[in-house]
Amino acid sequence: MQINNTAAIVTGGASGLGAATAAALAAQGASVFALDLPAAIESAPAVDGVTYLTADVTDEDQVRAAVATAAEHAPLRTVVSCAGIGPSMRILGRKGVHDIGLYAKVVQINLVGTFTVLALASEAIAATEPDENGQRGVVVNTASIAAYDGQIGQVAYASSKGGVVGMTLPAARDLAQHGIRVCTVAPGIVDTPMLATVSEEIRAGLAAGVPFPQRLCSPQEYAKLVTMIVDHDYLNGETIRMDGALRMAPR
């Protein structure tokens, strides 16, 4: 599907996977609208073709307004959800039972937020004119290999990402009549700002656990896969692991 002269939305677009994806889509000629929280946008770099919009993916009204803004400029064709959080807590830990509110928050942001963006953006995409092949758009969601190999302390995160994987096929089937494809990327260990605070020793240990290539994944590699999914018209309803053949150990 063509990216040039279309609009794209990327959530979590001010840093990490989202920032790399926003830049990659802009480089291919899309007018990109990067959605993120105010604090993240304040420190985001200026990128040609990328407009930052303040939006919390758990706020339906904010997401709807951002989608409307993006759809005003060009046909909305591409939507990529990268917004998410990944706190760690055991079900039964030294401080007691897992914080129920934290569990709900993780699911609300990572799963319900992803669905909210998917649903509201699909409404706008479905209103566009299809291309010569009947296509209107592509939605790419972000899961994690934790959806399959959740580690100790990742019960909330793994639950939320497992939900993203689980909704991929039914979402693709729901939206097929509108010419909208839906795929999910499940990354392994990516060198994002979330890892910036750990020591080089820990980073080296994480990289050593990857069968091949024995290194951390870069956000640009995630972005490259997203653009490939957009370009590949027959990819639909699929979750793609991007992990260097890594299978996570219990801890």
Rounded to an integer, what distance in angstroms lies between the CA atom of residue 111 and that of residue 142? 10
Residues designated catalytic? 157
* 31 occurs within a structural domain: yes
Q: Is residue 190 part of a domain?
A: yes
Domain ranges, residue 53: 7-242
Count CB neighbours of 184 within 10 A: 28
Which of 170, 157, 196, 140 is closest to 12 using CA atoms?
A: 140
In a domain, 251, yes or no: no
Q: pLDDT per residue over 73-103, tens digit each?
A: 899 999 999 999 999 999 999 999 999 999 9
Angle between helices 60-73 and 113-126 (to 10 degrees): 30
Those residues with Cβ within 8 angstroms of residue 221's Cβ, 6 or more apart along the chain or in another chain: 242
Q: Is residue 248 part of a domain?
A: no
The pLDDT of residue 206: 86
One digit per residue, pLDDT tens: the chain, 251 residues?
999 999 999 999 999 999 999 999 999 999 999 999 999 999 999 999 999 999 999 999 999 999 999 999 899 999 999 999 999 999 999 999 999 999 999 999 999 999 999 999 999 999 999 999 999 999 999 999 999 999 999 999 999 999 999 999 999 999 999 999 999 999 999 998 777 767 788 778 889 999 999 999 999 999 999 999 999 999 999 999 999 999 998 98
What pLDDT digit, counting tens, does each position of 109-127 carry? Answer: 999 999 999 999 999 999 9
Domain CATH code at residue 11: 3.40.50.720
CA 6 vs CA 3, 48, 90, 136, 242: distances in Å? 6, 15, 44, 11, 27
- Residue ranges with strand state E in the chain: 7-11, 31-36, 50-54, 76-81, 92-93, 96-97, 137-142, 180-187, 239-242
* 95 in any annotated domain: yes
Can you give the pLDDT at residue 195?
Answer: 73
- Is 224 within a domain? yes
Q: Residue written as tokens 């150990």?
A: 249
Cβ-based burial of 12 (10 A; exposed 0-12, middle 13-18, buried ≥19): buried
Rounded CA separation 223/230 (Å): 11
Domain count, the chain: 1
